[in-house]
Amino acid sequence: MAGIVHRYHRFGGRGYRQRVYVERAQPLEQYTTEELYALFRFGNADIKYIADLVRPKLQRRTRRSHSLSVEEQVLIGLRFYASGTFYQVVGDNIGVDKSTVSDVVKAVSIALASLVNQFVSLPKDVQIAQTKHKFFLLGNMPNTIGVIDCTHVHIQAPHERDWEYINRKGRRSINIQLVSDADLIITNCVVKWPGSVHDARILRESALYRELQTNRPDGIILRDSAYPLLLWLMTPFLAATTPAQARFNTAHCKTGCAIELLNGVLKRRFACLNYLRVEPQGACNIILACIVLHNIATRRNVPLCDDVYDAPEPVEESDQPLAFCQNEGLTGCISQSKFQTYLFGTAVYVIPILCPVSLQPDIVWITCHLRYSHSKSGTESLCCCESSAKPRITFVFF
């Protein structure tokens, strides 16, 4: 009782003051579709779809103290991913404090990162045939199911083990490994290694390497000479000494541009990946969240804004030293040699004919020693007619 009297006299008998909340912005209502794409990289329906995905992890039990709804949390996270600016600027746009933005970005990133296995996976069954067909149309490289590369996401200096994150360019970063298909969908990712780690080591320590070494895939993955040459991982010739090797390198380069384009689109769609002012663990969660969002945007055909899209990053030879695993070079070189000999060692002639099924003009590939065939739909095998001539001629009807 004495405490109550003391407080009464201290505050001069003033009554209870009701808390006043600042009115928050309502982006889904006040912005047009074009403005939503420019500010958040997603449209109205896409934002609601993402909110439904993370609702079980972000839904508040009550609206007490004017708590943020799931849609508002998603909008705050998307605005940060798209702009990469300071928390204070994001908070001013939405109408919340910078500390709230920090907490929300962390929660949304963890929620989206937990969905990575749902949205990031290698092609299977029918998808493998479709992926091979799309890569073949892209660069005339057959039997390709993916392209792999590493890219660096710069971060601020961490408080512990700072030297591990300094990359070859002297900047602190997270080195992430990505595998892409021809549609720029990320099919595998490794996000945990500091910037000083070599690309080949990231691959060798990954679950992808262990899986494909044990169960060889129905196809090959392409990348530059910084990686080891394996039965399922094809690298270009360091020095093309024959026309066949030159044609192989040309097709390899054209097809490998897909991963360079992916890196450019990913970092321009989500500008936060250019520099993250968080600790490494938080940076990894944000990167995984952006990977999940990128696949969602690609599969839902979310358009790229004019100020987001730009030409792909130039293809450069890696300046990292070559790294090979024990006993990997022999089998890889044999595979590479056979690949270029049988697929690029003979001329290819293209002649128009009438397809007996659809009665439409089509193309027949006549090659020596080439037994590769692929249907347009990617789901059925083609009819191949082989002659008894020496060398054997194969007629592939598309």
pLDDT value at position 23? 63
175: nearest Cα among 204, 196, 148: 196
What is the rounded average pLDDT for all residues in the chain?
80
Task: Identify the bridge partners of residue 221 per DSSP, sorted by sequence position.
Answer: 146, 233
148: β partners = 179
The tokens of 267 are what? Answer: 């970092």
Beta pairing class for 173-180 and 349-354: unpaired
User: Cα 97–35–22 angle (5° rounding)?
Assistant: 25
For 213-218, what is the mean pLDDT?
91
Band of residue 361 on the pLDDT scale cut at 50, 70, 90: very low
Q: What percent of the chain has pLDDT over 70?
A: 70
Rounded distance, CA 183 to CA 298, Å?
8
DSSP label of 360: S
Q: Where are the domains of the chain?
A: 20-114, 120-337, 346-397
Annotate 73-86 with three-state secondary structure: HHHHHHHHHHHCCC
What value does the mean pLDDT take over residues 229-256?
A: 92
Q: Looking at residue 304, what is its pLDDT?
A: 84
DSSP 8-state code for residue 67: P
**Is it the case that residue 50 has pLDDT exceeding 90?**
yes
Strand duo 220-222 + 233-234: pairing: parallel
Q: Mean pLDDT, to the nearest integer, of 107-133? A: 95
Q: Residue 56 above 50 pLDDT? A: yes
pLDDT tier, 28 (very low <50, low <70, confident <90, very high otherwise): confident
φ, ψ (nearest 5 deg) of residue 226: -70, -15
Instruction: Say yes or no to pLDDT of 169 above 50.
Output: yes
Q: Is the Cβ–Cβ distance between 267 and 260 less than 8 Å?
A: no
**320, amino acid identity:** Q
Residue 65: pLDDT band with limits 50, 70, 90:
low
Q: Kindly report whether the peptide bond that precedes residue 280 is cis, defined as omega within 30 degrees of 0.
A: no
pLDDT at 316: 43
Closest of 377, 397, 368 to residue 385, by C-alpha: 397
Q: Is the pLDDT of residue 109 over 60?
A: yes
* Arithmetic mean of pLDDT, 371-378: 37
**Backbone dihedral region for residue 184 (phi beyond 0: left; psi -120 to 50: alpha; all else: beta):** left
DSSP string, 143-212: TEEEEEEEEEEEBPPPSS-GGGGB-TTS-BEEEEEEEE-TTS-EEEEEEEEETTS-HHHHHHTSHHHHHH
Residue 332 has pLDDT above 60, yes or no: no
Is 396's pLDDT higher than 70? no
Whole-angstrom Cα distance, residue 133 to residue 177? Answer: 24
CA dist., res. 116 & res. 294, Å (int): 11
pLDDT at residue 312 in the model: 42
